[in-house]
Amino acid sequence: MRLEVLRLNQGKSKNPILSNYNSIKKKVNGESQNIQNNNNGNINGNHNNGLNNSRIHDESSVQIQNDDKDLELKTNNREAKTILVEPDYRLFLYRHWNLFDSLVYSNYTVSSLNSWKEPGRKEIQKLLAFIGIPLEESKQRFLFMKNEFKQLFKDKILEVSKKFEMKDLIYQSFVYQFDQKTQFSASDYVYCLSALLEYPFNIHALEENYINEVEETTTLIEEEKNDIYMEQTSLNKDLKYDNYWVCYEFLALKNSKLLKIAIEQAIKFQIALVNNGTSLIDKKSIIPSRNFRYSVIRSDISDEIKYFQHPLSLEKLALFVMDTYHTSKSLKSSTKLKPFILAIANTLADKFIVVGVLGSARSYEERNQFSIRFRMAGDKVGAKLIMNNFDDSIVEIPKNEFDSFLEELCAEDV
């Protein structure tokens, strides 16, 4: 009997999908020895050709079906600390959240299904019904969903998503098997890192459950909240690079407490992003100008607004508003693509943060010209612009100079 065994060249780099090769090799060697004993050394016989090949294949390799652009990839390889090639979905942290909320608050479904509105949520319920997942089950944490519904989701989501005109819902990605139950996709990793890096306070305060306790306390008067905010802002100034080193630690994926904090903060940020972005659209707070649109958030009382006091978070909000405004089914399809300016007030710092984005309005050869526009408008009104970011299309301006700056910015566009 002939046994075909996959051999790896130890001098070459290993394929991540075959990272469990050593354990498989031991099993194969053991089976080979048993076969040799049972057949008195008759390894070259043809009557049992390929006897154990299927078993080795099932345990170690990946089966790729090419029926639909190699997206239906199935694997039984679940060894911890390995990286797998798997299809992923444009659903925000669904592995660490619940499927229903992930469908509601993901950028992709917000623009595709208008999921922030009641009709859009009914569409999501209809989508789940087509797949065969009960609504109560979809609102369980994905980790605790029954395996039969998880498998049903994987088997049917590609077909069902096309009925709802979500052809780009699935894409090929990488998944890190953290332990037997926990997986992190490449996008999960980025979302969590961004949430930690852009958190407006010091992450160590979260680790001590300080801010969480404050957020859960509803009896605090406004003055006390401001005092706490000032204290945390002062702490951030003293430890301005602290969150960077926390992210550096997160890269190792060894601190389970930090993993939990990162996931929780990423989810809170995404909810705030969708709530505040769609609110600007619903309240018709997006003002047209000749060559761009703009919006101003003048109140920072809301607890969710704190997430956008970081320049990069504000840029994400601007891009989300712009793309949702252009692609939403509830808006006119003839809406012209235009760049977008978003400004937000920071009352305690007595300033406005202003960001200009091109988003989907960017052409291949076009670069962001807002930095030049901002400088010209600032020079004409004598405003003191602060550019402390890598992206010079993000500026800070004193609160008392903002209105004249904005007026000049719009006058230049006429």
Query: Looking at the predicted structure, is the pLDDT value of residue 58 above 50?
Result: no
The pLDDT tens digits for 330-371 are 565 446 788 899 999 998 889 999 999 987 655 544 677 888
Assign 41 a pLDDT band (cuts: 50, 70, 90): very low
Which position has the higher pLDDT, 316 or 71? 316
Q: Tell me the mean pLDDT in the region 226-251.
A: 66
Query: Looking at the predicted structure, is the pLDDT value of residue 214 above 60?
Result: no
Question: Across all residues in the chain, what is the average pLDDT?
Answer: 75
> For 379, phi and psi rounded to 5 degrees?
-65, -40
In the chain, CATH 3.10.310 covers: 286-414
Which region among 78-92, 105-119, 182-196 has the lowest average model confidence (pLDDT)? 78-92
Assign 207 a pLDDT band (cuts: 50, 70, 90): low
Q: Check residue 335 and give its pLDDT.
A: 65
The pLDDT tens digits for 121-149 are 999 999 999 999 999 999 999 999 999 99
The pLDDT tens digits for 246-261 are 888 888 878 888 888 9
This prediction's pTM: 0.73
Torsion of CA 354, 358, 364, 370, to 10 degrees: -40
Query: Looking at the predicted structure, is the pLDDT value of residue 48 above 80?
Result: no
Q: Which CATH class is domain 286-414?
A: alpha beta
Q: Check residue 331 and give its pLDDT.
A: 60
Which position has the higher pLDDT, 212 or 347? 347
Q: Check residue 18 and give its pLDDT.
A: 40
Query: Looking at the predicted structure, is the pLDDT value of residue 237 above 60?
Result: no
Q: Check residue 56 and give its pLDDT.
A: 27
Q: Check residue 254 and give its pLDDT.
A: 81
